[in-house]
């Protein structure tokens, strides 16, 4: 289950997200990634208009394929978008040819619906053809848009295939939807860390909590398997991210530079911080973390306040 789904299921309110973009931008893949299943409940479709509605408990995702301009008959799509809490505008970051059209559509759409909360998403970040955040910002003129509309607007890149950036999106939703106070530092509690070298399939783990209980030991076993599967599934990708849960723990898996690292943290810990720590350790893993002792030393030295005690 994605942590977004878990998060939303914890609140009583209904949450709806409108996901808009050209055909093939990656909307359906994003929906699958959020719902984490292929057989979602698609309760109603307006296929002729390119509108699709996916409902899961109190979460509604509405996708809309724009063709090449906003339809002149405003009634249905406009009502659908105005009814949503958040608007995602998806731009295929590998599709340079349609960037200008995307800019025109985005600006026209914003002028039409004036959303309070807008997130522009560059999809397919895993692809080698994916263009940079800076180029997206420039071409879509996001800074100008932000000034002009005064809506809460941001731009991120993500990949529905590798999970990269998905947790930045969730963090953004948490802040915008639930108005969570922004904490400067959100320490996590790293109970254990498992690394996997893809070339050799060597697994290494360290326990960082002084009093490991059975539940942690079984979680580590589980993670060793999980890391191996994750590494296999993501073999063709340079980077990948995934978050899962086991027993009372949250597991953050990050792949980079031929290594997979899994951090076992507490269930309510901040995922973005755990991902950042995992990435930082991955920068060092080859040089300093070749034995469990050196891995433990590196984590404890770099993140003394994040190690569970
Ligand atoms: N490499 C890559 N391809 C993706 C990603 N998301 C979607 N695609 C591909 O892009 C195409 C269109 O995706 P889809 O979600 O159906 O687009 P939609 O028309 O906006 O719903 C499909 O072939 C997907 O496999 C991604 O994150 N990475
Ligand atoms: Mg689709």
| Residue 97 DSSP symbol | G
170 and 199 assigned to the same domain = no
151 and 215 assigned to the same domain = no
pLDDT value at residue 51: 83
154 and 229 assigned to the same domain = no
Task: Return the residue whose CA atom lies nearest to atom 18 of ligand 1.
Answer: 24
CATH number at residue 286: 3.30.450.50
Last residue of a domain, one of 178, 203, 222: 178
What's the mean pLDDT in 114-130?
93
Long-range CB pairs of 239-246, under 8 A, 24+ apart, other chains included: 239/126, 239/162, 239/164, 240/126, 240/159, 240/162, 240/163, 240/164, 241/162, 241/163, 241/164, 241/165, 241/166, 241/167, 241/275, 242/163, 243/2, 243/3, 243/163, 243/167, 243/271, 245/1, 246/219, 246/222
Task: Return the residue whose CA atom lies nearest to atom 13 of ligand 1.
Answer: 26
Calculate how far, in angstroms, residue 205's C-alpha sits from the geometric centre of ligand 1: 35
Q: Are 62 and 78 in contact (CB under 8 A)?
A: no
**Nearest ligand 1 atom, CA 127:** 1
Domain with 231 in it: 192-303
User: Which stretches of the chain are DSSP H helices?
Assistant: 3-10, 27-35, 75-82, 99-113, 133-140, 142-149, 166-178, 214-233, 271-288, 292-302
The structural domain count of the chain equals 2
Calculate how far, in angstroms, residue 47's C-alpha sits from the geometric centre of ligand 2: 10
Ligand closest to Cα of 162 equals 1
Task: Return the residue whose CA atom lies nearest to atom 4 of ligand 1.
Answer: 124
What does residue 46 show for φ and ψ, rounded to 5 degrees?
A: -125, 60
pLDDT in tens, 30-87: 998 988 765 556 665 566 678 888 888 888 889 999 888 887 776 677 777 877 889 9
Structure tokens at 211: 């009093």
46 and 148 assigned to the same domain = yes
Half-sphere exposure of 114 (CA within 13 A, CB side): 3
Between residues 287 and 63, the one the model is more confident about: 63
CATH number at residue 93: 3.40.50.300
d(CA 44, CA 47): 9
152 and 101 assigned to the same domain = yes
Between residues 5 and 189, the one the model is more confident about: 189
Residue 184 in domain: no
pLDDT in tens, 175-220: 887 765 555 567 899 999 999 999 999 999 999 998 899 999 999 9
Name the residues around ion ligand 2, CB cutoff 5 A: 27-28
Does pLDDT of 132 surpass 70?
Answer: yes
Task: Return the residue whose CA atom lies nearest to atom 22 of ligand 1.
Answer: 24
What residue ranges line ligand 1, CB within 6 angstroms? Answer: 21, 23-29, 65, 123-124, 126-127, 159-161
pLDDT value at residue 247: 93
290 and 226 assigned to the same domain = yes
170 and 22 assigned to the same domain = yes
Ligand closest to Cα of 23 equals 1
Question: Among 36-45, 147-156, 236-245, which stretch is predicted with the lowest mean pLDDT?
Answer: 36-45
227 and 138 assigned to the same domain = no
What's the mean pLDDT in 268-296?
86
Does pLDDT of 158 surpass 90?
Answer: yes
Ligand closest to Cα of 161 equals 1
Does pLDDT of 19 surpass 80?
Answer: yes
164 and 267 assigned to the same domain = no
Calculate how far, in angstroms, residue 294's C-alpha sits from the geometric centre of ligand 1: 41
215 and 156 assigned to the same domain = no
């Amino acid at each position: 289950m994605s942590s977004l789904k878990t998060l939303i299921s914890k609140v009583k309110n209904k949450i709806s997200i409108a996901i808009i973009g050209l055909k093939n931008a990656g909307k359906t893949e994003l929906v699958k990634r959020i719902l984490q299943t292929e057989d979602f409940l698609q309760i109603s479709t307006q296929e002729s208009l390119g509108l699709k509605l996916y409902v899961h408990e109190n979460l509604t995702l509405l996708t809309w394929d724009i063709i090449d301009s906003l339809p002149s008959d405003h009634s249905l799509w406009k009502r659908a978008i105005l009814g949503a809490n958040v608007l995602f505008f998806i731009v295929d970051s590998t599709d340079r040819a349609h960037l200008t059209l995307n800019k025109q559509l985005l600006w026209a759409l914003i002028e039409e619906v004036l959303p309070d909360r807008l997130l522009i998403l560059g999809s397919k970040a895993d692809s080698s053809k994916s263009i940079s955040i800076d180029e997206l910002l420039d071409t879509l003129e996001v800074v100008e848009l932000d000034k002009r509309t005064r809506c809460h607007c941001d731009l991120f890149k993500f990949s529905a295939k590798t999970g990269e950036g998905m947790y930045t999106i969730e963090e953004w939703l948490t802040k915008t939807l639930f108005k969570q106070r922004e904490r400067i530092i959100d320490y996590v509690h790293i109970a254990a860390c498992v690394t996997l070298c893809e070339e050799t399939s060597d697994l290494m783990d360290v326990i960082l909590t002084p009093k490991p209980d059975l539940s942690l030991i079984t979680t580590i076993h589980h993670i060793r398997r999980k890391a191996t599967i994750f590494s296999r599934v993501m073999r063709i990708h340079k980077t990948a991210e995934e978050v899962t849960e086991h027993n009372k723990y949250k597991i953050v898996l990050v792949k980079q530079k031929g290594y997979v690292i899994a951090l076992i943290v507490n269930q309510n810990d901040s995922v973005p911080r755990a991902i950042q720590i995992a990435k930082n350790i991955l920068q060092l893993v080859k040089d300093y973390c070749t034995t469990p002792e050196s891995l433990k030393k590196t984590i404890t030295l770099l993140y003394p306040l994040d190690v569970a005690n």
